[in-house]
Structure 1
């Protein structure tokens, strides 16, 4: 199924606005997002979007995993929350 995903907006959790922001920071394809990972993609997004938040980070992780962010395992959600917390210290 993933092989048919050719652009960012076809990924789960990625709408037009987030896709445009990803492209602006040099992430232009689903393959690039998956290779970079949600945390590093988020770090890039923070350089252009100071409002980037936990919801966006979780959405990126869901996109990488191919699932809705609501369905991320609780443990992974906690890891992402900790990552965001450490970025703000």
Structure 2
């Protein structure tokens, strides 16, 4: 396991997906952002779901995905619905 699994919400599977899209550090994830990272993961894992998107944002924010503000969840849900 690498550096990314130290972040909230990032387990082995999500870390593997992030590595496959070229993200190996927290800084790289922050620079790309949750939405772009999610879009790239969807290209290699069509089963990527809304909860993965929440998890990515939580990892960037340093919090568990369940603690994301409702406004952030609404924004991400709208983004996801429009894919």
Q: Common fold, TM-score beyond 0.5?
A: yes
What are the ranges of 5 or more consecutive residues in structure 1 without an aligned counterpart? 1-5
Greater C-alpha Rg: 1
Question: How do 1:5-84 and structure 2 match up within 5 A?
Answer: 7-84=3-80
Per-residue deviation, 1:69: 0.3
Aligned mates of 2:27, 2:12 — CA distance in 1: 17
Per-residue deviation, 1:22: 0.4
What are the ranges of 5 or more consecutive residues in structure 2 without an aligned counterpart? none
- List structure 1 segments (4+ residues) > 6 angstroms apart after TM superposition: none
Normalising by structure 1, we get a TM-score of 0.89
How many residue pairs match? The answer is 82
